[in-house]
Amino acid sequence: MYHLSMAKTLIREETLELHGHCVSYRIAGEGPAIMLIHGVAGSSQQWEPVMRLLARDFTVLAPDLLGHGRSAKPRGDYSLGAYAAGLRDLTVALGLDSVTVAGHSLGGGIALQFAYQFPERAERLVLVSSGGLGREVHFLLRAATLPGSELVLPLISNDQVLGAGTAVSGFLGRLGLRTGPDIAEFARGYATLADADSRRAFLHTLRAVIDHGGQRVNATDRLYLAEDMPSLIVWGRRDPIIPVRHAGTANRGMPGSRLEVFDDAGHFPQLDEPDRFAEALSEFIDTSEPAHADAAQMRERLTQQA
């Protein structure tokens, strides 16, 4: 069993320049590599409790996606494909030939895209409260994609509004978010939007995957391609952002995948129960063999579907 109090691992915060843009990342440990991808308006900081646990046995990499955290926020492409390509370039630059790729929320969609675009670099796939598996998503995110949200976001992310912590918590609670990581991380995410560059990147990212009706990017028609990739799906049963039934969709669509539902967790199971999350991920890696990309096998699958 993992215990946070026992974890003394040093997590290094480093940066490098890729394609002229600063990329910030956290890295710790030694061993087989795991890449942890955060969600929209998040940062690598969300993975720190889990990193401290996993770093005893693995090299754990958690980047700040472009437009997020301490990474650059350029005018550019914030599509899933662009994020996946950027993470491929980061792993190449850091000398990581292949990784177990794990993504939370938007990061789950990026992890799916990474495994699809670069199967030779993905040993295993881990989806955590992942986007891209169905239309439903909390209306707070849908509302942020509407015309005119550029004018509203600066008002709700300013210091005076966010400084009224009780009022913000009460408002988010009425929207169905649970006390704890759900509210804390959403409030932290919206606080970053006071910066104009962060706000622009947030809107470009969100509008690439969500519209007023819900999620507009759906990977379920390609999940069959992951049949030979060891896959773990982790979800909080009380997730108010993306319903837990999407976990079942992924589990059915990827034969042989493993499903872990945390009954008392919300949208951030890795923060609600970091010990359990780290233990499940570690056991999954220890009891599965890395995938090996096979072009002939993929060609056969693709032609069977044609």
Number of domains comprising the chain: 1
Q: Which positions ≥6 away from 302 have C-beta within 8 Å?
A: 225
Answer whether residue 158 is part of any domain.
Answer: no
Lowest-pLDDT range of 53-62, 119-128, 169-178, 276-285: 169-178
What percent of the chain has pLDDT above 90? 72
194 falls within a domain: no
Does residue 85 fall inside a structural domain?
A: yes
Q: Check residues 160 and 223 and name the one with the higher pLDDT.
A: 223
pLDDT at 41 over 50: yes
Please say if 149 is a catalytic residue. no
pTM: 0.91
The residue from 43, 138, 267, 272 that is catalytic is: 267
Q: Is 75 exposed, middle or buried (0-12, 13-18, 19+ CB in 10 A)?
A: exposed
Q: Mean per-residue pLDDT for 171-190?
A: 72
With bands split at pLDDT 50, 70 and 90, how would you rate the model's confidence at 164?
very low
In a domain, residue 31? The reply is: yes
pLDDT in tens, 201-236: 999 999 999 999 999 999 999 998 888 899 999 999
Is 239 among the catalytic positions?
yes
Burial of 176 (0-12, 13-18, 19+ CB in 10 A): middle
pLDDT reported for residue 178: 63
From the list 24, 44, 71, 105, the catalytic residue is 105
168 within a domain of the structure (yes/no): no
Domain that holds residue 275: 4-137+215-305
Q: Which residue is catalytic, options 64, 182, 239, 272? A: 239
Tell me if 187 is assigned to some domain.
no
User: DSSP secondary-structure letter at 60?
Assistant: E
In a domain, 196, yes or no: no
Judging by DSSP bridges, how do beta strands 59-63 and 21-28 pair with one another?
antiparallel
- Measured distance CA(114)–CA(127) in Å, rounded: 12
Report the CATH number that the domain containing residue 71 is assigned in CATH.
3.40.50.1820
Judge whether 159 lies within some domain: no
Q: Where are the beta strands (DSSP E) in 107-154?
A: 122-128
| DSSP string of 170-228, one letter each residue | HHHHHTTPPTTHHHHHHHHHHHGGGSHHHHHHHHHHHHHHEETTEE----GGGGGGGTT
Q: Give the pLDDT mean for 128-133.
A: 98
Please count the CA atoms within 13 angstroms of the CA of 280 that sit on its side-chain side. 21
